[in-house]
Structure 1
Amino acid sequence: EERYDLSAVGRMKFNRRVGRDAIEGAATLSNEDIVDVIRILVDLRNGKGEIDDIDHLGNRRVRSVGELAENQFRAGLVRVERAVRERLSQAESDNLMPHDLINAKPVSAAIKEFFGSSQLSQFMDQTNPLSEITHKRRVSALGPGGLTRERAGFEVRDVHPTHYGRVCPIETPEGPNIGLINSLALFARTNWYGFIETPYRKVVNHKVTDEIEYLSAIEESKYVIAQANADLDAKGKFKDDLVSCRYKNEFTLSAPDKIEYMDVAPAQIVSVAASLIPFLEHDDANRALMGSNMQRQAVPCLRPEKPFVGTGIERTAAVDSGTVVTAHRGGIVDYIDAGRIVIRVHDEEARAGEVGVDIYSLIKYTRSNQNTNINQRPLVKVGDVIARGDVIADGASTDMGELALGQNMLVAFMPWNGYN
């Protein structure tokens, strides 16, 4: 018999679609489910209800590495099971030990094939810290179980209202993959089911609080959400009589007493690369797209310079990429040379039974995947007091713990024969 499993996500989506409150249930379809499906189809035929939007992010989920690897592992186990059954059915199956029956080769072969030759298993782009972090935050509609470039139409590639705060509307390749490969927005995360969530500040009694709630695209459409740049008074209440909001994926003006959530920051709609562009709001969308993509191609400089004009994301991007070395615990720098930093940990941070010294070995002149130079340089001196999380060594393309992709240009205004 053929078995099937709706899975937790399938059951949750099904229950939501047929209007049930419960999100859990049987993994197979019941008579009640079939009746509900027929009822909804009849309603749609009669013009009641709305047809599902296939490009809505509530109907598209992210399949993480773990899930893809799990599927390969399962395929390998099925092959092993088949081999074991065959061997058991043969006549001389008496007195066989488990190791005679089970051959684990198919499982390891499936896993090796997945990591070695899958379309989604890619050689990390290590040109600079930004290209590294962007590559890891990429969301692709291609690959096994996904679309192909030829089949993907215009609608799939287009920006959808539910992309707001979840997927960057700017950063995508220009070429045949446009819109099929996207980048996660700055504060986006995936929930347990694989749907992308974005954070909002909660509004309680017409007052904007600092309480943060993550909403998926399915939940978000129920609420009226104000923009991050809405004017607030000292008490956290909206100043204007009409505030620019989003409701049911439409932009609208709403009275302050109707607002339930507010965006966290104006930058939450764009990706890491786009958020590094100063005054992004004044740029043409096409040029911003090119700028986001070209920052990833910046080759590390011998003498990196952090930008005079930045957006404030530079330090976070450098630290989160793992290129710089940060202190695990606070303390005092005891010893330092080009290759390592020794920090004597503060007594209050040292745990009983643990060594009260942290030693950080620096990466020296290593070749990156793109043949650029990875070299970490110490930023501290002996005797410096360090707090937990402080940057203690720079990596490639960073300056004083900040991302430094290029050089600051020196512009001179000079008189010329009395002109200028």
Structure 2
Amino acid sequence: NRALMGSNMQRQAVPLLVSERPYVATGLESRVARDSGVVVEATDSGTVAYVSADKIIVSKDGSVPNKKTPKTDYQVYELRKFMRSNGGTCINQKPIVKLGQKIHKADIVADGPATDQGDLALGRNVLVAFMSWCGYNFEDAILINERLVRDDVYTSIHIEEFECGARDTKLGPEEITKDIPNVGEEALKDLNHDGVVRIGAEVNPGDILVGKITPKSETELAPEERLLRAIFGEKAADVRDTSLTVPSGTSGIVMDVKVSSRKETKQTKMSANERRKQLKQLQDEFEEKKTRLTEDLTEALSNILLGEKIPLDVVNVQTGEIIIPANRKITKTLLRKLAAAYDHIEIDPSPIQIKIQSIINEFSGKFAELDLEQERDLDRAESGDDMDSGMIKQVKVYVASKKKISVGDKMAGR
């Protein structure tokens, strides 16, 4: 029960600005970091050819690959930068290898959130005194040094998501715009021409993130406005400001903005026949992409197998068919059959099997991505759109803010 409580409390830990490995460890830190999937492990041995904040390239000879370099001779590791987790914390991967460094398979090349040199690092190594201090640390209270707050020792980055949508109302459509009535230039300085805040802007409570106007109903108009409208057909003042603003208690820097618009109204009122045609077209496009990817896999296999002989049978485990018989000269046709059944083949363990499997593993990820994309696009086409009905435009704004340790935060548990 204590182990369960301890592990559940460790899940509540937020990643700090600077992670630090524990001096007193259990020995499981590295295993936990690997199993959690937040660190990046090397898939093959080699030498680091290129390192930047968001990408690591490892090649066999340490040289930066070009277009002619076979894909089996190098690995590219794309790092996740400043992404928002479901808990609102910041997911950021940092490289821990240097240019020219030799690495082995399964070595950790990049740290994730709350890890340091590949080890789990949930807290900081600070001096702790078990003593009473004028009753301030009564029962479960902890007294901390001011410097821990001032020097950002226990500071974390949190990313908050704010959402705003323009809908079609009975009185007319809402509009996301910079042209907002009765709002000064100072309040609009960080908005772009579409009325959405720019990335990198520093925002504080009350600042406008997305400018939005909504049509007013007759009942909301003042008597003099109704008179003007009746006489001149005045329409300028019959909108109200419904902009998305930063709530109180939140401040930070805008780090990302995502804008999605509804497809044309014709799309949503499509007949069943037209929708069937669209689905067929989408399926044909994906079949073409899959064929091209299979051809790329055939080419990659050709580099090591074309014209060679394998002393073992290559079998399709699903059908039981022998795709390439043992000691048969390998042709392009046989390789195409092998590529088409890439996820159902079986070869007895051997050096050539390792080479074939490494190429297939590289491509199986691409096939999986394509299948996922196809499923997502077909679902979207069948449902007509990926936004709520009545929604014209949707804007998501991500604001990153630093949170210092404050009263009420849990320092330790168990």
TM normalised by structure 2 equals: 0.29
Tell me which protein shows more strand as a share of its residues. 2
TM normalised by structure 1 equals: 0.28
Task: Tell which structure's C-alpha radius of gyration is larger.
Answer: 2
